[in-house]
Amino acid sequence: MIPCRSGKLDRFARSDWCGDRHRGTACRCAAVGAAGSCCRRLLLPVAVLAATIAGCNDGTAGNGTDNSTPADRGNDPRLRIVCTVGMVADIVRRVAGERGDVVSLMGEGVDPHLYKPTRNDVRTLLSADVVFYNGLLLEGRMTDVLTQVARRGVPVYAVTEGIPRDRLREPPEFQGHYDPHVWMDVSLWKLAMQFAAERLAELDPTAASDYRRRATEYAVQLDRLDAYVRRVIGSIPARQRYLVTAHDAFGYFSLAYDIPVRSVQGITTESEAGVDDVVRLVDFIVQRRIPAVFVESSVNPKTVEAIVAGAARRGWTVRIGGTLFSDAMGPRGTYEGTYVGMIDHNATTIARALGGEAPQRGLNGRLSLIRERSSAERGANASNGGSIGNRTAR
């Protein structure tokens, strides 16, 4: 038997183990942050699972999921693929093409750190042919449900399994955990996408070449996106190339694209920022004359607003440079509601607000959510000394 890498094997009775050897080099239990996903022979009665998820939301706010059961699906030959966050669903949708029916449990503006699965979500997960999620404890409140769904026989994969461990961030403030926000480095998310494509090829071998072809084609788009982000972030003048955001979701972005990042909150949004954190960041912004800070679509903006107010009391006008998509993508059906659009939006917004060179409508000319600076904001920067006024008013 291959040992559990997660170190959480004791959460389950030893007899739960099927004893099978698994593909690859490691047990999949690490993928769900706990033991169990390998134990596909052990099928729990639905009642037991219902009891396990008694802590789930009762609501039906599953963000547009389709909860049809396998029986409802008739002769639909497509793989039924259920994903947690939109970023995972989008890359899986790209490689699945017409072979997959992909649903995402969390939609626009939903915070995955805090999300508890609804009963409908559990039904949706149980109806899946395969489940993909981010892992690394991003979906921290779904771990038990994902484990139980895997034990019911549904293949459950964390796409971050496709990323070599030595490319994951493990900063001390994360208390022994990896930083889960890997999609912020496009080259890492490409590896996650290729991992998903290989799992689909295994599950549906007759179409393996289709999955791999689509993965190769999409990788070209991701390489182009990666180069664009590098270019526009690199165009920001070095003295104001600092990214100040609400929570610590941009560590991989910082490393990959060479822009130091400061955030008000830590790695998850579960803890509130303290007054000291705000004062510390205000000092940082005023001393370095940073022109803009950013809010996030899935995080309460009040702490960032407190920083803006704190800087103003110190005589420095820092503006909110825009809303970034950190842990959730943009509205469904929009360009920003895709992974490429999300990253394009973020890079373009950051570059333009901090005085870099980036086209207003981004890499593909499709951005629509970047707001123009008002004349009042341009005037505010002029009153700060006007160092960036002309550069960001394109």
> How many whole angstroms separate alpha carbon 263 and alpha carbon 209?
43
Nearest to Zn ion of 114, 227 (CB atom) = 114
Nearest to Zn ion of 85, 130 (CB atom) = 85
Q: Cβ 269 to Zn ion, closest distance in Å?
A: 6
**Helices 143-151 and 119-126, packing angle to 10 deg:** 30
Place of tokens 């093409």: 97
Q: Cβ 336 to Zn ion, closest distance in Å?
A: 18
Q: Which residues make up the interface to Zn ion (CB under 5 A)? A: 249, 327
Nearest to Zn ion of 149, 249 (CB atom) = 249
Could you tell me the end-to-end alpha-carbon distance of the chain, in angstroms, rounded to an integer? 61
Q: What is the DSSP string of 94-128?
A: HHHGGGEEEEESS-TT--TTT---BHHHHHHHHT-
| Amino acid occupying residue 110 | V
Q: Cβ 327 to Zn ion, closest distance in Å?
A: 4
Spatial contact of 289 and 240, defined as CB atoms under 8 Å apart = yes
Beta strands in 36-158 (DSSP E): 79-83, 100-104, 130-133, 156-158
Cβ contacts of residue 184 below 8 Å, gap of 6+?
Answer: 249, 250, 251, 252, 253, 256, 326, 343
Nearest to Zn ion of 249, 363 (CB atom) = 249
Q: Cβ 378 to Zn ion, closest distance in Å?
A: 32
Nearest to Zn ion of 265, 392 (CB atom) = 265
Q: Cβ 181 to Zn ion, closest distance in Å?
A: 6
Nearest 5 degrees, angle CA 364-CA 369-CA 375?
115
Q: Helix or strand or coil: residue 296?
A: strand
Q: Cβ 304 to Zn ion, closest distance in Å?
A: 15
> How many whole angstroms separate alpha carbon 363 and alpha carbon 341?
9
Q: Cβ 248 to Zn ion, closest distance in Å?
A: 7
Nearest to Zn ion of 148, 254 (CB atom) = 254
Nearest to Zn ion of 157, 174 (CB atom) = 174
